[in-house]
Amino acid sequence: MRIALFTETFLPKVDGIVTRLKHTVEHLQKQGDEVLIFSPEGGLKEYKGAKINGIKGIPLPLYPELKLAIPNPSIGFSLRRFKPDLVHVVNPAVLGLGGIFYAKKYDIPLVASYHTHLPQYLHHYNLGALEGLLWEMLKLAHNQARLNLCTSTAMVNELESHGIERVDLWQRGVDTDSFHPDLISNQMRDRLSGGNPDAPLLLYVGRVSAEKEIDKIKPVLENIPNARLAIVGNGPAREELEALFAGTNTNFVGYLHGQDLGSAYASADAFIFPSSTETLGLVLLEAMAAGCPVVAARRGGIPDIVTDGVNGYLFEPDDPQGAIAATQKLLAKTDEREQLRQNARKEAEKWGWASATTQLRNFYQGVLSRDIGLVA
């Protein structure tokens, strides 16, 4: 198959969407498919054999790491040369709308996928009044597609409840080789804890932004004597959060990659994830693959991954004591924590990227089995 993939974010950006797309592109190419990526310009020309067509963009005011890439006529020329069997738009917002436009213009079968719960994000940027309008815009865009994919059952239900049609579940995936309990390291633990490796070590990995609700970790830290918190990642809220956590045992580590990231997960005592806007929460799967017990909000796609008391602990996001009690329980029960580690790893081992991409190819084939026309 020849697949034109439109995404609002790709390398060198680091986030869960990029992680999924990286593995998807790699496995599609390995299976003999050819992928052409349309993404905001980032300096890369190809990835794992897939050509990248970088579109000039402007930084998003609320989040400068994200670029708004405005569709232009060069997209149409590139599509006509590539002659894709199918167009897949990821989180259609700006550039993705260009993918929708040209897919309809050239009668190319269209698949869309939903990875970022934008309507909920609005509330964290004082724009909640626009939620209804955004849902209408999302419905208009997604209902152009022959198939809409979500990464959790909660998001399938959410999209269907807002009038989005032809929705199905794209299974989760995680790299169980890069994230493994064997990567535990005293040196990494010393680094994350600021030189206090014997203290209880809490870990957060992800975007450092308002919608991740990292501020809710502060009361957890304050209620566990001697605990240390490592925040791995970066984003627009870092400066604000550094001020909020000033005077606490918190280490803002910045980005970690590759084996360092795997070692960070494996070396922590608990992975704390308070976000209530997750469509899935890929970092939770990475933590679980590394054998790090998780404490996470019972909302969005997270309950698809975490089974309370079996491979982690869930708390009600609206209960200010919930995360505190769950984390204290996790750290207090050594034997139970070890069982949670083992169960977390077993759960992660069920979800490889190869099988997730095979499922995606089957979705593509199902769409293509209908009346398909190639680019003229």
Is it true that 2-173+352-368 and 181-348 share their CATH fold? Answer: yes
pLDDT per residue as tens digits for the range 339-364: 999 999 999 999 999 999 999 999 99
Output b/e per residue, 297-307; b: 16+ Cβ within 10 A.
Answer: bbbbbbbbbbe
- Which residues of the chain carry a pLDDT beneath 70? 62-63, 119, 121-124, 371-376
Dihedral of CA atoms 324, 327, 330, 333 in degrees, nearest 10, equals -50
The predicted model scores a pTM of: 0.86
Domain ranges of the chain: 2-173+352-368, 181-348
pLDDT of residue 119: 64
Q: CA of 197: how far to CAs of 145, 226, 239, in Å?
A: 51, 11, 26
d(CA 376, CA 373): 8
pLDDT of residue 178: 94
pLDDT of residue 116: 83
DSSP letter at 208 equals -
CATH number of the structural domain 181-348: 3.40.50.2000
Residue that the structure tokens 């360092």 belong to = 260
pLDDT per residue as tens digits for the range 262-320: 999 999 999 999 998 888 889 999 999 999 999 999 998 999 999 999 999 999 999 98
pLDDT of residue 191: 98
Residue 47 contacts residue 31 (beta carbons within 8 Å):
no
Q: Comparing C-alpha atoms, which of 121, 87, 82 is closest to residue 104?
A: 87
- Cis amide leading into 197 (omega within 30): no
CATH architecture under which domain 2-173+352-368 falls: 3-Layer(aba) Sandwich (3.40)
Dihedral of CA atoms 68, 72, 75, 77 in degrees, nearest 10, equals -170
pLDDT of residue 375: 33
Strand partners, 110: 87
